Amino acid sequence: MKNLTSIQPSKTQHARLAALKQSFHDWNNTPDVLTQMAKRLSTTLSLETQLGIVAEEIAATIPFDALNYRHRIARQDFVFSTGMGGPHRCEYRLTLEGSYYGTLTFHRRHKFSSEEMTGLEMMLSAAICPLRNACQFISIEQAALTDSLTNIGNKRALDEALSRASAMADRHGAPWSLILCDLDHFKQINDNHGHVVGDHILTKTAEKLEQAVRNSDTVYRFGGEEFAILLPHTNELDARDVADRIRLAVESIRVDGGETPLTVTTSCGVAVHLMEESSDQWLARADEALYRAKAQGRNCTRVFATIS
């Protein structure tokens, strides 16, 4: 067995290790405002948390009365506000390497001096990379929850939303309804006209569904031609009305199919959440109602009736 001798660091390595140790000490003990903010921002990828840190760090050096941030990330508006506004403001478009990462506005009752504005720009320059990373993290998360064809929520997003809705319904006792929709005879469209036409109809269907519901309702594609709509604070009767409105909206779709335009209909199943019911049970009851609609002639709505 060979004897292994330790390799002693050279003088150059000793010097570099000593410099590294000093840098680490300075990093942990520096009172520098920009370094302190950068260290805090590096601990999280939550955009909301990061903006709170930015507000705290800037306010300690440059007082302001209100901070507002707005950005559109992955088809969703993101807004953050703190404080009450004043008549004077400084507004900054946050950009890095040609990409836009939101607009940050500071409000105050009296004007910002040129020295303060320079300070704001320096602090935002130190914050832009972490803010960029947080925005990109949101985009990645949303991409994992979005159907690539229709740009609405996918099956994973539906599962997560159903779990949250079930918990909220149990906690607050408010009615939540689920509608499942299935396009009738959709396979024939794909077989006779091709998948390009079929995909176009699916995209049009997603658009019609979003137009037919409230802003508080959410639409998902969780199967090939199956869609789901989650409706908060909606009872059984109102949910059935929404389902019928959805059917009419889908019937209005017209797609070029040659001599005559292609049309499509949909069947709908409705289920209202029951107390202490799991999301899987809720989904299964809506699916049973949808099955009944398909079995009883299609292009109709069926509700999973509950016995009170």
**CA–CA separation, 205 vs 268, rounded Å?**
13
pLDDT of residue 208: 96
Query: 89 falls in which pLDDT band (50, 70, 90)?
Result: very high
Q: Which string of DSSP letters, residue by residue, matches 230-264? A: EEET--HHHHHHHHHHHHHHHHT--B--SSS-B--
The predicted-structure confidence for 209-246, as pLDDT tens digits, reads as follows 999 999 999 999 998 999 999 999 999 999 999 999 99
**Is the pLDDT assigned to residue 1 strictly greater than 70?**
no
pTM: 0.74
Asked whether 237 and 253 are in contact (CB, 8 A), the reply is: no
Which one of 3.30.70.270, 1.10.1240.10, 3.40.50.150, 3.50.50.60 gives the CATH number of domain 155-303?
Answer: 3.30.70.270
Q: Is the pLDDT of residue 6 over 60?
A: no
Specify the domain boundaries for CATH 3.30.450.40 within the chain.
24-144
Task: Tell me the fold of 24-144.
Answer: Beta-Lactamase (3.30.450)
Domain(s) of CATH 3.30.70.270: residues in the chain: 155-303
The residue annotated as part of the active site, out of 56, 116, 121, 225, is: 225
Cβ neighbors of 304 (< 8 A, separation 6 or more) are 269, 270, 271, 285, 286, 288, 289
Residue 17: pLDDT band with limits 50, 70, 90: confident
152-195 tens-digit pLDDT: 999 999 999 999 999 999 998 899 999 999 999 999 999 998 99
pLDDT tens digits, 247-285:
999 999 999 877 788 999 999 999 999 999 999 999 999
Whether 225 is catalytic: yes
